[in-house]
Amino acid sequence: MNEQNHALFETLKLKNGVELKNRIVMAPMTNYASNEDGTVSDEEIAYYVRRSSGVGMVVTACTYVTANGKGFPGEFAADSDEMIPSLRRLAEAIQGQGAKAVLQIFHGGRSCPPELVPNREVVSASAVASVENPDVVPRSLSESETLNIIRDFGETTRRAIEAGYDGVEIHGANGYLFQQFFSPQSNTREDRFGGSVEKRMTFPLAVVNEVKRVVAEHASAPFIVGYRFSPEEATTPGITMDDSLKLVDTLADQDLDYLHVSLMDYKSKPRVGADESKSRLEWIVDTVRDRVPVIGVGGVHTPDEAVEVLQTGAVLVALGRELIMEPDWVSKVAEGRESEIKTTLSKQDQERLVIPDPLWQLIMIRTGWFPVEQ
């Protein structure tokens, strides 16, 4: 192994006592391959088994906590106890390869396609359409419905515990329901869930508290609770870097096991609300000040780039597309075989890489995301 890569393979003991065998995480990535009834498919199991042996922790694709939160076709469900055997099957597949299994829990809010939710009724913090889908105007959640969704996140956490997961990650990123409550663009509420930046934190913090309450009540062993967030929005008004740093500062005091920033490029600089003297990731790490581990992510292709993420002060580094193209990325780095890491896909690679059909079809369409040999 290259000497500078040793940092990637140091163990890490989280605050709750769970130990990760290295600093590399499989990032959560939707694969669109679950069964129609919301259960995990054989294709998904094979996909995760192929990628779980090297990393210290796998964060699953997101799973919806309530029927009106389903954000993608082929997304697996965790909204009822009937799904516990399906959830358990995925946890055991990941853990059988030596990685910790973390279930990402989710509600899509206004980002849900109407055809995927009951009565085609899309809901959100407020009746404000997104820039991406201006024709889909969501219905504003009542206060009682909001409280029910908070409880739904707790119930899904209980299911994760019963299914044998090592933890859950609260999906507060990428424009979904948590971000819709936190953003001044999508949250125009005048009750306790809207208004100032502090009031717009009410929903995310309530879910964090509910998840932690359920863990304290139901988990008999240390159980990971993480939170993922996106640092900025392109819209005006929208979430600024300053808003996000206030959220991060508050989350860092919530006794979480990690914070996971969602970035396309770990080197990207702030747009609004912080100066460009540091990257977004560096601003976040500096705000946290060692109170909670930070997972850095975004455009990490090489071991050198993964080490650079750790050098910012992030404690873990997540790989997404790299593990789709090269499931053996971790073992090749550990064995000093970096030169053998695959950096492109060919149209004949699907079977070798064990990629489900729906995800493969998307990759072939979006070749800008993945370098595909022609």
pLDDT at residue 62 greater than cutoff 80 = yes
* pLDDT at residue 367, rounded to an integer: 67
* pLDDT at residue 242, rounded to an integer: 97
* Catalytic entry in 176, 227, 258, 266: 176
Interval 103-125: pLDDT, tens: 999 999 999 999 999 999 999 99
Interval 318-370: pLDDT, tens: 999 999 999 999 999 999 999 999 988 888 999 999 999 999 999 888 767 78
* pLDDT at residue 205, rounded to an integer: 98
Looking at residue 338, the DSSP 8-state letter turns out to be: G
Q: Dihedral sign for Cα 103, 108, 111, 114, please.
A: positive
Every domain of the chain and the residues it spans = 3-343
Provide the CB-side half-sphere exposure for 314 (13 A, CA). Answer: 31
Interval 267-305: pLDDT, tens: 999 999 999 999 999 999 999 999 999 999 999 999 999
The Cβ of residue 346 has, within 10 Å, a number of other Cβ atoms equal to 11
Q: What are phi and psi of 173, to 5 degrees?
A: -115, -175
* pLDDT at residue 364, rounded to an integer: 87
pLDDT at residue 167 greater than cutoff 80 = yes
CATH topology of domain 3-343: TIM Barrel (3.20.20)
Residues 53-62 as b/e (b if ≥16 CB within 10 A, e otherwise) read ebbbbbbbbb
Active site residue 176: yes
Cα–Cα distance list, 215 to 13, 49, 168, 218, 224 (Å): 19, 27, 10, 5, 9
Q: What are phi and psi of 7, to 5 degrees?
A: -60, -30
* pLDDT at residue 347, rounded to an integer: 86
**Average pLDDT taken over every residue of the chain:** 96
* pLDDT at residue 372, rounded to an integer: 75
Cα-Cα-Cα-Cα dihedral of 70, 72, 78, 82, to 10°?
90
- Going by pLDDT thresholds of 50, 70 and 90, the confidence category of residue 3 is confident
Interval 190-237: pLDDT, tens: 999 999 999 999 999 999 999 999 999 999 999 999 999 999 999 999
* pLDDT at residue 344, rounded to an integer: 87
Q: What contacts 24+ positions apart, CB below 8 Å, involve 134-141? A: 136/110, 138/109, 138/110, 140/189
Cα–Cα distance list, 281 to 86, 267, 276, 295 (Å): 35, 7, 11, 9
State mean pLDDT over 4-17. Answer: 95
Report the C-alpha gap between 158 and 195 in whole angstroms: 31
Report the C-alpha gap between 8 and 217 in whole angstroms: 34
Report the C-alpha gap between 273 and 226 in whole angstroms: 25
- Going by pLDDT thresholds of 50, 70 and 90, the confidence category of residue 22 is very high
Q: Do residues 14 and 26 lie in contact, with contact meaning Cβ atoms separated by under 8 Å?
A: no
Interval 275-284: pLDDT, tens: 999 999 999 9
